[in-house]
Amino acid sequence: MNNTVSINTQLSNKGSALNFPGGSKVNTQASTVNQNEPTTRDDSFVEVPVKLTKEELVSLSRIDPLRSTFHIVAEWSMIIGAIILCQHFWHPLLYLVMVAFIGARQHALMILMHDGVHRRLYSNRKFNDWMAEIVLAWPNLISARAYRINHFGHHRYLNTLEDPDWARRQGDDAWVFPKKVWDLGQILLRDISGLNAFRLLMLARRLVSKDTGMTRSFVMVRYAFYAVLAVVIGFAGLTKPVLLYWVIPMFTWLIFIFRIRSIAEHSAIDGRDAAYAQTRTVYPTILERIFLAPKHVNYHLEHHFFPSVPFYRLPALHALLLTKPGFADSAHLTQSYLGVLKECLGGKDRAAEPAESILPSFAMEGATSSGAD
């Protein structure tokens, strides 16, 4: 009996159909699945070239609800603490630092939501989904359920015309690499200044559109949440603090983070084997971990290969993969996010081409014929 497993391992065949934008269908796993076992087919795109034993993958995929809760509470506590600190010791320079810090904490909440989308926060599926919505997604103006549909499409059809993230960037010169220093600097300046905030609004609108298949009751609950929150903010006289410490970080620093993170994850990657050519892993500096890439989001190659692994075990997964034949030599590993930006200033961007042009035919067949998550 083969004791190794890859990304396409399926431990349960139970599932139901789910419609993706554009009419394609995939199967989603039934709610009776054991959440502590790796479930990967809906969030995979190729047979990965590196193998783990079943025991290794099951161990790395274990859910630790106390750990998830700690991280959620810690992020909200740091946000509240930063606001109190800035209000008490008000200074324009301190405020600018807090904008970056809170924007990074908003990003951390969305990374935690992302784990909830992969059902890696809590073993109870309903509790996992509602925590991902109310505590993590809704405050950031998105829906975790709608994002799940978009995100699983991204995993299954990575860097192809059926990848919704990749498709949205087609025809946009901002995502064509390499770039000149001045051109890249202009884009980042527009992000950090808030001039590109409209793009985030359009993305949020797209993620809650009628095409996402959310029920009327879910949409009503979500907007009731916003209505109640708006009333509480208004009556408590918190409109100005919310604008200063939530809206401004969201539409400036958070957009800046999204740009750099998106570039790092799927752009300017060249000269790799097909399965390694779609994303990279970054080794961030301490400051980058604080202000740009919290919660081990830098291990993106590992996440695409084994999406059943929670964020807090991605470093262990990375260390294990480095011991496997071929990974260290083939994986695109970049020192720091500044190093990523430097890579965008030269060389050919493989992510700017449809993956059909660089992936072998057997890999694409595996991507389009996979079933439930």
How do the pLDDT tens digits run along the chain, 373 residues long?
A: 444 443 333 222 233 333 323 333 333 333 333 444 454 445 555 568 899 999 999 999 999 999 999 999 999 999 999 999 999 999 999 999 999 999 999 999 999 999 999 999 999 999 999 999 999 999 998 899 989 988 998 999 888 889 888 888 888 898 999 999 999 999 999 999 998 887 767 766 665 554 466 788 988 999 999 999 999 999 999 999 999 999 999 999 999 999 999 999 998 887 667 788 889 999 999 999 999 999 999 999 999 999 999 999 999 999 999 999 999 999 999 999 999 999 999 644 444 343 333 333 323 333 333 333 3
Q: Which residue has the tokens 């009327």?
A: 216
In this prediction, residue 272 carries a pLDDT of 67
In this prediction, residue 159 carries a pLDDT of 85
**pTM for this predicted structure:** 0.81
Q: Diameter of the chain by CA atoms?
A: 65
Give the span between the Cα atoms of 79 and 98, in whole angstroms.
9
In this prediction, residue 275 carries a pLDDT of 80
Using DSSP, state whether 27 is helix, strand or coil. Answer: strand
Give the span between the Cα atoms of 330 and 349, in whole angstroms.
17
Query: Which pairs count as long-range contacts for 247-252, CB under 8 Å and 24+ apart, including other chains?
Result: 248/99, 248/194, 249/98, 249/99, 249/100, 249/102, 249/103, 249/106, 250/103, 250/106, 250/140, 250/141, 250/200, 251/194, 251/197, 251/200, 252/99, 252/103, 252/191, 252/192, 252/193, 252/194, 252/197
- The tokens for 265 are 């994850």
- Distances in Å between the Cα of 124 and the Cα atoms of 35, 63, 136, 198, 213 are 8, 10, 17, 36, 22
Whether the Cβ atoms of residue 153 and residue 39 lie closer than 8 Å to each other: no
Give the span between the Cα atoms of 253 and 246, in whole angstroms.
11
